[in-house]
Amino acid sequence: MNYTKIAGLGYYVPENIVRNEDLVNLMDTSDEWIIERTGIEERRYGSRMKETTTTMAAKASELALERAGVDKKDIDFIIFATLSPDYFFPGCGVLVQRELKMTEYEAPALDIRNQCSGFIYGLSIADQFIKTGQYRNILLIGAEMHSMGLDFTTRGRNVSVIFGDGAGAAVLQRSDEPGILQTCLHSNGTHAEELAFINPGSHSGYHLGVERFGYDDRKYGGTFLTQKMWEDEDYYPNMNGQLVFKTAVTKFPEVINEALNMQGLSASDINMLIPHQANLRISQFVQRQLKLRDDQVWNNIQRFGNTTAASIPIALTEAWEAGKIKEGDLVCLAAFGSGFTWGSALIRW
Ligand code: UT7
């Protein structure tokens, strides 16, 4: 039987540290508010001149490949999760292949969305390809350059203070022993627009109405990006924070327990929980629900903010680097976010 193990991990965050006090200069917010509601003290923003989602991903990947001892020519498949790609298309999968100078091997590259749960979705996809025997080594990346697309005025403060830039990568490898024991994935599109980056897009007002997006304004280039969107500065992400929070605290424990039940395990078997770093309060709530000690949960949102698809691989790499994950440990990953999409993974280290 084929199993999937994590053979190497790496992460990269930009040098530029943006503290809460720095944001106070841009919008009506405060260090106290941000820390109390989210736990975030600082985050990183990429260099506008030098960095993109892809360049950060390449740095994380180089480290993961080196630690795995896997040559680039032996990567059979690249999976890239991001909601902040360099281009609308093509996706970052082929861009990172080029950045890593891997084009000559012509391995397939798959781009997935799935926002905060992108890394767990990617892990599950990779696991299926490895289990069936089709691929031996897969490079899985989660990377985000949020800072290029946030509203740094008071209007966007509930979103912009939360997000940070960074990248994490894992080399997944075929093994005779587990490995990934279980992945559980879910989605429910009922509240798709409650945490979304809607414009520009091809919706053309179909779902959301002519009035809001002014899609008849064809003289400005069709319906994709209209003059009205431009004038209203209607091209930023929006979030119904309370709805996301309330749903997340239900779905995190639910999907973790689902994976544990499927494996005949319980929360007391978990050695290390790596929750998607959405909000420290959410992670603490989940920790209490599962009755885990502080040293059994890895949180770094205080230093990096919410890096969406990158948050789990960055946190997992940090925990591993810190020696907090040992051979034989049961590691649990869990995420919830835009879509809504959510998922969990159980890994025997
Ligand atoms: O990874 C993606 C998934 N995302 C999440 O999991 C996020 C989940 N949600 C949250 O983390 C929280 O809902 C937030 C941190 C986003 C917001 O916290 P909240 O306690 O839910 O605040 P709220 O949205 O209910 O807003 C409370 C007040 C409002 O003012 P009024 O109407 O009471 O006067 C907001 O305008 O706080 C205000 N506010 C801010 N004040 C200072 C919102 N953002 C800020 C800010 N600084 N940055």
- Is 207 a known active-site residue? no
Task: Look at ligand 1, atom 11, and give the residue with the nearest C-alpha.
Answer: 279
* Predicted confidence (pLDDT) per residue in 166-214, tens digit: 999 999 999 999 999 999 999 999 999 999 998 888 775 544 545 555 5
Domains 3-177 and 181-190+239-348 share a fold: yes
Task: Provide residues with CB under 6 Å of ligand 1.
Answer: 29, 33-34, 37-38, 116, 157-158, 161, 241-242, 244-245, 248, 278-279, 282, 306, 337
Catalytic site residue 116?
Answer: yes
> Residue 272's CB: how many other CB atoms inside 10 A?
23
Q: What is the pTM of this model?
A: 0.95
How far is the centre of ligand 1, averaged over its atoms, from the C-alpha of 186 (Å)?
25
Distance, CA of 279 to CA of 277 (rounded, Å):
6
Tell me the DSSP string of 209-263: -HHHH-TT-GGGTTTTS-HHHHHTT--S-EE-HHHHHHHHHHHHHHHHHHHHHHT
**203 CA to centre of ligand 1 in angstroms:** 27
Q: What percent of the chain has pLDDT over 90?
A: 89
- CATH ID of 3-177, from 3.40.47.10, 3.40.50.20, 1.10.1040.10, 3.40.50.300: 3.40.47.10
Q: Is 261 a catalytic residue?
A: no
CB atoms within 10 A of CB 47: 13
Please tell me the CATH code under which domain 181-190+239-348 is placed: 3.40.47.10
Q: Give 287 Cα–ligand 1 centroid separation in angstroms.
A: 21
The amino acid at residue 119 is F
Which of the following is catalytic: 276, 279, 300, 332?
276
Residue bearing the CA closest to ligand 1, atom 24: 241
Inter-CA distances, 215 with 162, 201, 232, 238, 347, Å: 31, 11, 13, 20, 47
Q: Tens of pLDDT along 246-263?
A: 999 999 999 999 999 999
Q: Give the residue, out of 37, 84, 244, with the most ligand 1 atoms within 8 A of its beta carbon, to mutate for a pocket test.
A: 37
Q: Where exactly are the structural domains of the chain? A: 3-177, 181-190+239-348, 201-232
Ligand 1: residue of 21, 154, 158, 304 to mutate (most ligand atoms within 8 A of CB) is 158
Length of the chain: 349
Catalytic residue among 20, 92, 114, 116: 116
The ranges of the chain with pLDDT < 70 are 204-223
